[in-house]
Amino acid sequence: MIIDDVMTDKITLHGLGFVQVQLQGNQRLHVWHPELPRRACFEHSAIHDHRFNFLSRVIVGTQFNHSFELVCHDAGDFVLYLHEGARTSGGGRPWTPDGRADLVFSGSYEIVAGNEYCTKAYDYHRTVPGGDGRVATIMAKRAEYPAGAHSTCRFGIQPDTDFDRFQWSPAQLWEVVSDVLLGQKVTP
């Protein structure tokens, strides 16, 4: 199955609390800022995987990456939601229930500016900005696979399927990027 994964907008908001800027060479600039909106279920749904391997270099701040092992069973604490199909008007993909599982914490590491980390496709993780919440990374996609990625959401919590990636204007998002990369404060 081929997934239309093209995000044509140069800069958008991501439901996990960062700005995403499309770059050349299958790369993205990701910029976290404490004032950015996140999906309503964020605290219950931040653990996810990707359908591609990636290398991420922290260029500003400190990033924490928490890894999890997936243990599938019918009474799991989390519902897996498959993201495949055409993007919605809000820029996201459909959230299709795809089983239940427990997510067992398997490790955490801190990545400071100037260092890199790798994540393999379909490995579950949660990324947390350190310090004052201002972090920037350059992510380079590597091998890409056809099966869709998953988000998880704690069982009994309704996922935020309507998060709008376009709720802030490009100008507002560029202000956030400027604040983090250049230290020029955001004016809400």
Residues 6+ apart with CB under 8 A from 141: 26, 27, 28, 52, 53, 54
Nearest to 157 by CA among 97, 73, 94: 97
Within a domain: residue 72?
Answer: yes
What domain range is 161 assigned to? 11-182
Q: What is the CA radius of gyration of the chain?
A: 16
Put the strands of the sheet holding 52-60 in their side by side order.
11-14, 18-23, 27-32, 135-144, 52-60, 116-119
Q: Residue 172 falls within a domain, yes or no? A: yes
Does residue 6 fall inside a structural domain?
Answer: no
102 sits in the region (left: phi over 0; alpha: psi -120 to 50; else beta) called: beta
Note the pLDDT of residue 187. 53
Instruction: Please report whether residue 3 resides in a domain.
Output: no
**Would you tell me how many other CB atoms lie within 10 Å of the CB of residue 130?**
16
Q: Is residue 111 part of a domain?
A: yes
Question: 132 in a domain, yes or no?
Answer: yes
> Could you give the number of structural domains in the chain?
1
Find the CATH number of the domain harbouring 151: 2.60.120.10
According to the model, what pLDDT value does residue 4 have? 44
- Per-residue confidence (pLDDT) for residue 185, from 0 to 100: 60
Asked if residue 33 belongs to a domain, the reply is: yes
**Has residue 5 been placed in a domain?**
no
All residue ranges of the chain with pLDDT < 50 are 1-6
The amino acid that residue 41 corresponds to is C
